Structure 1
Amino acid sequence: MNKKHLTNLIIIALALVIVVVLSFVLKSATLVDCATCEGTGTVAYACPDCDGDTPQCATCLGTGIFPGSERTCGDCEGAKQVAAPSPYYATFMSLVPPIIAIGLALMTKEVYSSLFIGVVAGGIFYANFHPVKALDTIVNDGLISAVSGTAGIFAFLVILGAIVVLLNKAGGSKAFGQWAQTHVKTRVGALLATFALGVLIFVDDYFNCLTVGSVMRPVSDTHKISRAKLAYIIDATAAPICMIAPVSSWAAAVSQYVADGQGLTFFIKAIPYNFYSLLTIVFVIAISIMGYDYGKMAGVEFTAMNDGDLGALDEVELEDEKQVKIAARAKVSDLIVPICILIVSCVAALMYVGGFFTEGTNQWNLISSFGDTDATVGLPLGSLFALILIMIYLMARRLVSFKVSMEALPKGFMAMVPAILILTLATALKNVTSLLGSDMFVAEILENAGALKLFLPAIIFLIACGLAFATGTSWGTFGILIPIVQAGIGLDSELGVIAMSACLAGAVCGDHCSPISDTTIMASAGAQCNHVQHVSTQLPYAITVAAVSFVSYIIAGLMQAVGLYWYASLPVAIALMIGTLFVIRHFTNKKKA
């Protein structure tokens, strides 16, 4: 055992000792000594039906007894308190499972086993270290519940994967690249065309990285754009764009992590506060139009423009002759039409599930139907209908055969296995953490935070950045953090929406910066750029946007306290981003002079 491993073990042991001590010291004040418990737990909490006291509920008037009847309150049977399911319920120990998952992820740089060990820890604590009950909790309440609860999202991801495979085979993206090569005459135009294609392919980050890179390499090479700059634009239009697109694999994942079936509604509300994603868009457009670079990117771009050294790796042609002939028949519309079909189908299905087309209070009411829709039903329904239409369209255009269409289904599933695995384990962790009453514990701590609550979005943004950077995964990050943040702040206030959006933005930021992130690696592969060079040239840009985003979350938290929401804070954030770029350019030009 080397010194590094020994140090890690000592840190883990000390952390466990501290956790055990804190679990006794930080017992939630909502828990009282249980007067009626006979074995499940040693503590109790106020009855949710009669609230244990005033304010009285309409059912038992705070007495625990139904008015005008001999029957007692169904939950507390007149005792005004309910036995906690575990002695660790609503204590600091309820947060230990996600803390374990985060700690292991930071040390091992591996998210699957870290999440699973977190689930195991939660099951053990809930069962009070009883092995059989712990196993039952892990399997039934954790994993099986996660799979059954996310089945609709799984279906959507698999169908989306199949659509991605079909679009790659059809050659529409290649046609876009050929069109751009013919019509784009300037360096700025090439950068903006790359950005536009990245925005257009918003349904999935994997599809985005590989497609934009392969399509736009010839265009960027013609205008002497370095592969590092191309890789940055690819990366900047992958996860950041997917995180603000309601019809995407990312929206589906976030919707699943948010409780109360309001995931999609929250996702849409959070978009104007997703400062990192939005400011990344502003940043890319600004530096493209200004023709300005700084940091290591400036040196790489100077070499590309003056010496013609683009920093390209040796490329391997993977397409066979038949696929090249198919791509030659494809048009730009063969990329745009399928994506439009997917968007329209998913939006229509979400409206249908929300009651837009059926008799009721939501009929012909767009806002209400979206508010009451269920993404786990609407997205798979819409994407399935879109898949059928896209197959028919591409076969009618003779771009794919029926056999290729059927082969796309298992290939789409295989492409989405990592995402499905993270979604399952993160949801299972959320389930066991909820069983331990983490929402009650976190909510009480934040209730006593006072004015410091206004700075929580900025703090959450930093935590999410660090976790995603260390683990290389956005999905694992917001899968761990969303339930904790929602439990503490909730979504019924503007501050809650800002805080949750900060969690999503931080996850994207950390993923964007991380050298072990799958999207960062695929952006390098798509641009055929040296991965280390991509990370080193991208990092100053990502950190700049992250710094402005951090300040923007402080401003947004303060503004919402005086009734000013995204329509005020977002313009301020954009102005800060553009102003920061001008300041950096001023000082770098001055330094050169």
Structure 2
Amino acid sequence: MNKRTNFIIMLFLLTAMLIITPAFADGESDPNYGILTLVPAILIIALAFTTRNVVLSLFIGILTGSVIMNKGNIFHAFLRVCDTYILGEATDSWNAALIIFIFGIGGLVSLMMKMGGMQAIAESLSKKANSAKGTLFITWLLCLIIFFEDIASNLIVGPTMRPLAEKTKVSTEKLSFVLDSTAAPVSDIAFISTWIAYEISMIKMSFEALSLEVNAYDLFVKSVPYRFYNLLAIAFVLILIFMRRDYGPMYEAERRARKTGKTVADGGHPMMSEDNESVSPKEGSKLSPYNAIIPILVLLTAVVAGLWYNGGGLNEPFTINGIRNAFGNADSSVVILWSVMFTTVLTAVMAVGQKIATINEAIDIWLSGAKGMFLTNTILILAWSSGAIMGDLGTAKYIIGFVGGSIPAMLLPLILFGFACFLAFATGTSFGTTGIMMPIAIPLVMSYTNMEVNHLVIAVIGAVTSGAVFGDHCSPISDTTIMSSMGAGADHIEHVRTQLPYAFTVAAVAALAGCTVAGFNGHPIISYVIGIAALIAIVRFIGKPVDEVEVYNSGKIKEDVV
């Protein structure tokens, strides 16, 4: 066994030793587990760092918590994990709706890709690019358009723009950076995406541990302006594109591509995705942008109309306040489920009507896309279960009593953002990081606000989720990072190496200009003014100009040194 395996076993045995002598009195109706309430959370975080396997880490943490509650009886604890926590959380009506929604959105995206609508949009826009700047800008724009799934964005936009990037001498490192730094941050803040169901469920669960009912969807929307890393990362890509400057290893990669025409480094091993059938339209089918535009518009319209209807909009005056009240009273889990299923049926009808697929083929395509969401739902159910076990142990109350007041309130967004960044980078998953951090962060910040939801609570939610995105989109073991390398045809290690200085730059600016200002109750606009100005200054004074290669309609090129 290697050192990591030995460490894991020792850590688990140490935890078991603590459990053997539970710190509570027999027969108490409301036992006090004391410091043992922290064991599952600590164990999950430690294992996530060492194994980089979030599923294993969450399951062992849940089992450990159950052992504590069952007074050291591992057999009974295992049974309760299965029938009380995992089954109980998966069959809760609210949770079940979100699980089905995630499967549904995965299937819908698969259908849309097979119909070729998104590819049609991408190819149409790519024809308007005739320079490196144009190529990168169109790539950035397409990632914004395909906002509902980051992996789909990478695997559609990347192969579409790769030939043009080759012509305009854009390095595969720069192309993969633009893909990676736009796709994940956009998907995390989109009001309809494969991420939203997971995040609102984590928010809801964390407040339920405090016996508080909140509108999780509303808090998600309010937290978007406080997701400083996401929005600054998107802006930073645009700054680099239009200033045509780079620094660090990215500058060397771009200079190599412009001067020598080598878009891939010598000795590099490009990752390719041409053979990925899940994103390829049916051979011979006519690509129409309406095959993407119509489903997207229908989905968005269905969500808005569904929120209004479900929240009692028929009984409210049709005014801004009436609409706001209806949205606030709506059950978002039911609405997004209605919307994705309705849009799926419509999209399948479109595919069959255009003879792109038969009914049976449409169902198979949908099932294939839904299957790709299995890991997401597995992490989701385990995260719910870990939150439930921590709630039963009283972890939130213990943290409030132990930590409450010891950290200055204004530093909470900054500290939690930093910890989320490190955890996400180590584990390579934003979902796992959010599932681990949110049940701890929300009770902690609520202890500072006397259990009232204010700007500090919303800022902390934004800090945790955006910190999780940092790791998801630049960790070498993240699926999003890997898919970006595949989409751009880049060497994976070179992609990570050239991207990290940029990611750390944005994270530092987001921490100082964003989280710190938010902690002092500063308005998000102040943070973005300072943050964007800082990023522009960094690119201007640290970055170096790179050569430009323009492509004419004839296919010839000319060099224009900036």
TM-score (norm 1): 0.82
Q: CA deviation at 1:2?
A: 4.7
Instruction: Give the equivalent residue in structure 2 for 1:457.
Output: 413
AA aligned to 1:354 is G
Q: CA deviation at 1:514?
A: 0.7
Instruction: Give the equivalent residue in structure 2 for 1:578.
Output: 536
Q: CA deviation at 1:128?
A: 2.5
Kept after mapping to 2: 8 A contact 1:351/1:373: yes
Q: CA deviation at 1:346?
A: 2.2
Instruction: Give the equivalent residue in structure 1 for 2:177.
Output: 232
Q: CA deviation at 1:256?
A: 0.8
Q: CA deviation at 1:10?
A: 5.3
AA aligned to 2:504 is I
Change beyond 3 A, Cα 1:345–1:296: same
Q: Which of 35, 51, 62 is the aligned partner of 1:92?
A: 35
Kept after mapping to 2: 8 A contact 1:362/1:368: no
Kept after mapping to 1: 8 A contact 2:227/2:466: yes
Instruction: Provide the C-alpha distance between the structure 2 equivalents of 1:527 and 1:22, rounded to a whole number of angstroms.
Output: 54
Q: CA deviation at 1:370?
A: 2.1
**Structure 1 counterpart SS, 2:372:** helix
**Structure 1 counterpart SS, 2:399:** helix
**Greater mean alpha carbon deviation, residues 118-127 or residues 338-347:** 338-347
Instruction: Give the equivalent residue in structure 2 for 1:70.
Output: none
Kindly report which structure 2 residues correspond to 1:471-490, keeping only aligned pairs within 5 A, or say none: 471-490=427-446
Q: Which of 180, 195, 200 is the aligned partner of 2:145?
A: 200
Instruction: Provide the C-alpha distance between the structure 2 equivalents of 1:317 and 1:544, rounded to a whole number of angstroms.
Output: 32
Instruction: Provide the C-alpha distance between the structure 2 equivalents of 1:319 and 1:120, rounded to a whole number of angstroms.
Output: 38
Q: Which of 200, 204, 209 is the aligned partner of 2:154?
A: 209
1:369 is the counterpart of 2:321: no
**Structure 2 counterpart SS, 1:184:** coil
Change beyond 3 A, Cα 1:482–1:179: same
Kindly report which structure 2 residues correspond to 1:381-400, keeping only aligned pairs within 5 A, or say none: 381-400=338-357
Change beyond 3 A, Cα 1:406–1:355: same
Instruction: Give the equivalent residue in structure 2 for 1:270.
Output: 223
Instruction: Provide the C-alpha distance between the structure 2 equivalents of 1:440 and 1:317, rounded to a whole number of angstroms.
Output: 52
Instruction: Give the equivalent residue in structure 1 for 2:393.
Output: 436
Instruction: Provide the C-alpha distance between the structure 1 equivalents of 2:301 and 2:147, rounded to a whole number of angstroms.
Output: 14
Instruction: Provide the C-alpha distance between the structure 2 equivalents of 1:253 and 1:526, rounded to a whole number of angstroms.
Output: 25
Instruction: Give the equivalent residue in structure 1 for 2:192.
Output: 247
Q: CA deviation at 1:295?
A: 1.2
Kindly report which structure 2 residues correspond to 1:309-458, keeping only aligned pairs within 5 A, or say none: 309-311=262-264, 313=270, 317-318=274-275, 323-326=282-285, 329-356=286-313, 358-359=314-315, 365-449=322-406, 452-458=408-414
Kept after mapping to 2: 8 A contact 1:363/1:369: no
What is the percentage of aligned positions where both structures have the same residue?
31
Change beyond 3 A, Cα 1:438–1:236: same
Q: Which of 110, 115, 119 is the aligned partner of 2:58?
A: 115
Change beyond 3 A, Cα 1:558–1:114: closer
Q: CA deviation at 1:93?
A: 1.9
Instruction: Give the equivalent residue in structure 2 for 1:538.
Output: 499
AA aligned to 1:338 is P
**Greater mean alpha carbon deviation, residues 143-152 or residues 529-538:** 143-152
Instruction: Provide the C-alpha distance between the structure 1 equivalents of 2:100 and 2:365, rounded to a whole number of angstroms.
Output: 14
AA aligned to 2:416 is I
**Structure 2 counterpart SS, 1:128:** coil
Kindly report which structure 2 residues correspond to 1:75-224, keeping only aligned pairs within 5 A, or say none: 83-84=29-30, 86-88=31-33, 91-131=34-74, 133-149=76-92, 150-224=95-169
**Greater mean alpha carbon deviation, residues 186-195 or residues 499-508:** 186-195
**Greater mean alpha carbon deviation, residues 237-246 or residues 368-377:** 368-377
Q: CA deviation at 1:318?
A: 3.2
Which of structures 1 and 2 has the larger relative contact order (alpha carbons within 8 angstroms, sep 6+)? 2
Equivalent residue pairs, number: 524
Q: CA deviation at 1:202?
A: 1.0
Change beyond 3 A, Cα 1:316–1:207: closer
Point out where structure 1 has 5 or more consecutive residues left out of the alignment.
25-32, 42-82, 589-593
**Greater mean alpha carbon deviation, residues 506-515 or residues 369-378:** 369-378
AA aligned to 1:414 is K
Instruction: Give the equivalent residue in structure 2 for 1:300.
Output: 253
Instruction: Provide the C-alpha distance between the structure 2 equivalents of 1:164 and 1:172, rounded to a whole number of angstroms.
Output: 11
Instruction: Provide the C-alpha distance between the structure 2 equivalents of 1:3 and 1:554, rounded to a whole number of angstroms.
Output: 37
Kindly report which structure 2 residues correspond to 1:1-40, keeping only aligned pairs within 5 A, or say none: 1-2=1-2, 5-6=5-6, 39-40=26-27
Instruction: Provide the C-alpha distance between the structure 2 equivalents of 1:316 and 1:192, rounded to a whole number of angstroms.
Output: 22
Kindly report which structure 2 residues correspond to 1:23-62, keeping only aligned pairs within 5 A, or say none: 39-41=26-28
AA aligned to 1:415 is G
Q: CA deviation at 1:539?
A: 0.8
1:521-560 CA-partner distances (Å, limit 9, x unpaired): 1111111211111111111111111111111344324431
Q: CA deviation at 1:361?
A: 7.9
TM-score (norm 2): 0.86
1:243-295 CA-partner distances (Å, limit 9, x unpaired): 11111111110011112352211110110000110000110000000111111
Q: CA deviation at 1:587?
A: 12
Instruction: Provide the C-alpha distance between the structure 2 equivalents of 1:586 and 1:23, rounded to a whole number of angstroms.
Output: 61
Q: CA deviation at 1:511?
A: 1.4
1:291 is the counterpart of 2:248: no
Q: CA deviation at 1:238?
A: 1.8
